[in-house]
Amino acid sequence: MLMILAVIFDWDGTIADTKKAVIQSFQKVLTQAGCNVTDEFILRLLGIGTKKTIIEAFKKCKKRLDVSTLEKLAEEKVTIQAELINDVRFIDGAIELLELLHGKTKIALATMSSRRVVDKILLEKKIKTYFDVVVTADEVNKPKPNPEIFLSVAKKLGVDQKDCVVIEDSIFGVRAAKKAKMTCIAVPSGVYNKKELEQEHPDIVVNSLVEKETVLQFIFN
Half-sphere exposure (Cβ direction) of 115: Cα atoms closer than 13 Å: 7
Tens of pLDDT along the chain (221 residues) come to 567 899 999 999 999 999 999 999 999 999 999 999 999 999 989 878 899 999 999 999 999 999 999 999 999 999 999 999 889 999 999 999 999 999 999 999 999 999 999 999 999 999 999 999 999 999 999 999 999 999 999 999 999 999 999 999 999 999 999 999 999 999 999 899 999 999 999 999 999 999 999 999 999 97
Beta bridge partners of 168: 186
H or E stretch covering 9: strand 6-9
Distance of alpha carbon 68 from alpha carbon 66, whole angstroms: 6
Distances (CA, A) of 39 to 30, 64, 73, 89, 111: 11, 21, 17, 19, 21
DSSP letters, 54-119, are HHHHHHHTT----HHHHHHHHHHHHHHHHT-GGG-EEPTTHHHHHHHHBTTBEEEEE-SS-HHHHH
Distance of alpha carbon 209 from alpha carbon 221, whole angstroms: 17
Beta bridge partners of 167: 9, 185
Report all structural domains of the chain as residue ranges with CATH numbers, in order of start. 6-17+88-220 (3.40.50.1000), 19-86 (1.10.150)
Longest CA–CA separation in the chain, Å: 54
Question: In the prediction, which pLDDT does 48 show?
Answer: 86
Q: Which of 164, 175, 166 has its CA nearest to residue 200?
A: 175
Distance of alpha carbon 37 from alpha carbon 196, whole angstroms: 22
User: Rounded to the nearest 10 degrees, how much is the dihedral formed by the CA atoms of 221, 11, 142, 50?
Assistant: 160
Distance of alpha carbon 115 from alpha carbon 207, whole angstroms: 29
